Structure 1
């Protein structure tokens, strides 16, 4: 098991020094699921939610969150992201909306946390905008699907390990 990079020899928390790391193209894809009542999903898809366009608001919130990840997670580096996308895949049969984010950068550090943060905040925005209709919504299955770049190379989640 590798040692923890965010803890110094005295056990103190620290931000990893990436100064000497070579910048490379890096990317990450994350996903999550919001489960809701069929009527709630129908209202979202037919633009009947009184607070406005739920998915476009959640998309903007997710993009903004990716850009602000270092303000939320203490040891994350502030990054100059080159691309953030947040997409939605509604499934009326299951009453779910799958959220997927992809983030890219050319830098010394990866963007996994930014992709995960984008999904999380997009999901919370959906909940916030629809909670007056459906307080039983659940947010689940938030996970890293893929990451590329850097010293550790490529990671792709096995389908069998998806939540």
Structure 2
């Protein structure tokens, strides 16, 4: 039997799903995405030559903060006890890729937290490099955040 959850009540009003009766379990979610950038910007990031400072360290902090505050930005998302956050950046030939892994022990999953971490981390990269990405018309012809998705989700019941 599949449990059915709904974010609407009998009168079709929005509501938070009640997870109070669910057992705690160890949960993990991993999300990834990338920001496509110009070759010059990618080289500047790799050499730590962006005028605003250390792009990847700043983006890492932003990603972790976003994970911890997801419940404040996603309507009806439960506040969960985040037990671990891992961030991994890779500066490639055409993009900076970011993977965020989130772990918790609780009654609900952490996919939204992983997604928030990725999108915020990539937004921070954009903010840090936007001056070098802008063309003469003030546009961003190369810059694009792409392929944001959950790549892993797991749940296991802790042993007593």
Shift of 1:3: 5.6
Match of 1:48 in 2: 49
Match of 1:119 in 2: 118
Q: Distance in 1 between matches of 2:114 and 2:64?
A: 9
- Which protein shows a greater Rg? 2
Question: In the alignment, is residue 24 of structure 1 matched against residue 25 of structure 2?
Answer: yes
Shift of 1:150: 6.7
1:131-153 deviation per Cα after TM superposition (whole angstroms, max 9, x unaligned): 011033100100000101179xx
The aligned runs of 1:92-131 (5 Å cut-off) are 92=93, 95-131=94-130
* Cα separation, partners in 2 of 1:15 and 1:150, compared to 1, 3 Å: farther
Is the 2:52–2:128 contact (alpha carbons within 8 Å) kept by the matching residues of 1? yes
* Cα separation, partners in 2 of 1:2 and 1:22, compared to 1, 3 Å: closer
Q: RMSD of the alignment, in Å?
A: 1.6
Is the 2:32–2:147 contact (alpha carbons within 8 Å) kept by the matching residues of 1? yes
Q: Distance in 2 between matches of 1:78 and 1:150?
A: 20
Question: In the alignment, is residue 142 of structure 1 matched against residue 148 of structure 2?
Answer: yes
Shift of 1:98: 1.1
Shift of 1:97: 1.1
Unaligned runs of 5+ in 1: 152-163
1:7-53 deviation per Cα after TM superposition (whole angstroms, max 9, x unaligned): 11111110011110000000000000100100000000101001110
Match of 1:154 in 2: none
Match of 2:75 in 1: 74
Unaligned runs of 5+ in 2: 134-139
Aligned residues: 149
Q: Distance in 1 between matches of 2:87 and 2:42?
A: 18
SS of 1:143's partner is strand
Match of 1:35 in 2: 36
Q: Distance in 1 between matches of 2:106 and 2:5?
A: 21
